[in-house]
Structure 1
Amino acid sequence: MSSSTRSRVSTAPARGSMPRAPAQERSQQRVELALQATERLLLRLGPEGTSIPEIAHESGVPRASLYQFFPSKYAVFSHLAEVHLTYVAALLAARAQKLKRRDWRTVIRLLINEASDYYDATPVAGMLVLGGPFSRAGYLSQVAAINRIGREVGATLAQLETPLVLPKSPDAATLAVEIAFACMKFGYYRDSRISRPVRQQACNATVAYLAAWEK
């Protein structure tokens, strides 16, 4: 596992994202070991073959300790997906800060490719985010992340030198993110990656939708 992936896995969970937050350093270390082990198992065995007993064996963390924080493997998957989605949101926000002089169509294309590059380069993220969610908690976490990304995209487009101001009702920015995300999921299901043709279709669909608000 790369150091960058390790740093994402060890990101502190958002409040409410875990059944019980670790209060002591030893517990935090155990959770980090379990998350890292889960990523390795997902790459080897996939979601179906990964289980709490396998995670316990791979990480060296007692099963009873794991259940204190994650009542099922789906709780682990949900937390890992949230970590990766949070990272993607931060990645896009950082990228957007450098694009204020670009036209909005170019911004959309660059952001879609930035997110696609991350999912293609990070198989576990693709598996859990594009191949999931695997539970209702995972679904709700994904919706919240898409809403955050939508707000960032809307703010970015409104701050361009030639701004594209989108309505809040309907929430056009978040709907645009959903359109692009649906195309990415289609590409992942078909090819286990987001190919160049699928990326182009994601750009085309998103731009066509947003063009309705261009002045």
Structure 2
Amino acid sequence: MAKKAGSEGPAARRQLSPRKPSRERGVIRFAALVDAVEVLLADHSPDEIGLYQIADQANVPPGSVYHFFPTKEAAFLALANRYLSGFEALTLKPIAPSALESWQSLMAWDQKQAMHFYNRHPAALKLLLGGFGGLETRQADAQYNIEAGKEMYHRLDTVFHMPFVRDPETKFHITIEILDAVWRISYLKHGRITEKFYLEAVDACTAYCRLFLPERIELREVHRTNLAAGKPVCIVGQMTEAGGEEPGR
């Protein structure tokens, strides 16, 4: 009986994944190779990139590339993982006071930070919105969206006195998928996320969340106090806590 697509065992999946280094020299070489992949993807289609092109860009022997990346898709996955860690790092930024006026404004502010990150990294648009990184990258992005939905609810619940929401993980996962869907249209039409599509995504996500959230939710007292004292408001994200350290990207 033939295997269904995506039904490979753990050993096969490992072969498709980047080999993460443990020694300092390997960490430096790995980062340089991922940098090379980013440079290549900024100006080339993924179909035009192979392990030899990555080696040339990084100025290393092809064997050094193959040591870390058994396939070019593994190299794309390594770069995608760097970007996904970068999105996690955005949750550590101080929140603008204007973003704390309502849950709607906080969601819009968070989406603005993500939009700017995407537009600063053209290769991220290709890999995560264009879907050009291969199956493993799409799966990593899909799993990240599940965690990002949990993070969205965590941020709202940490900042505001959130009401009871039945199955918040599913509801906010859907919100993240709505966001991605609108931004994917923008990427396919314009090669970037435009201000128009940013606003369309904000409206779409807000409209969906209004199905289960009231129009106004009170800010938590600790944040009122910090704002009154002119202190920055920062939220430690669940994904960052789970990782144990600030993501580096």
Contact 1:30 1:61 in 2 (8 A): no
- Match in the other structure for 2:61: 62
* SS class of match (1:163): coil
- Return closer, same or farther for 1:101/1:198 CA change in 2, 3 Å cut-off: closer
Residue ranges of structure 2 left out of the alignment (5+ in a row): 1-13, 215-249
Alignment of 1:85-96 (within 5 A): 85-94=84-93
Q: CA offsets, 1:112-157, max 9 Å, x none?
A: 1111111112212222221125222111210121122111110112
Distance 2:194 2:105 in 1: 19
* SS class of match (1:107): helix
| Amino acid of the structure 1 residue aligned with 2:157 | A
- Match in the other structure for 2:153: 154
Distance 1:193 1:20 in 2: 31
Give the TM-score normalised by structure 2: 0.72
* SS class of match (1:171): helix
Distance 2:19 2:211 in 1: 45
- Match in the other structure for 1:8: none
Distance 1:45 1:127 in 2: 10
* SS class of match (2:127): helix
Coordinate RMSD, CA, aligned: 2.5
| Amino acid of the structure 2 residue aligned with 1:177 | I
Q: Which has the higher contact order (CA 8 A, sep 6+)?
A: 2
Give the TM-score normalised by structure 1: 0.83
* SS class of match (1:112): helix
Contact 2:149 2:174 in 1 (8 A): yes
- Match in the other structure for 1:144: 143
- Match in the other structure for 2:33: 34
Contact 1:51 1:73 in 2 (8 A): yes
Distance 1:99 1:143 in 2: 31
Distance 1:61 1:21 in 2: 18
Shift of 1:205: 0.8
Distance 2:164 2:84 in 1: 25
Distance 1:166 1:201 in 2: 25
| Amino acid of the structure 2 residue aligned with 1:137 | E
Residue ranges of structure 1 left out of the alignment (5+ in a row): 1-14
Contact 1:85 1:145 in 2 (8 A): yes
| Amino acid of the structure 2 residue aligned with 1:80 | L
Shift of 1:79: 1.2
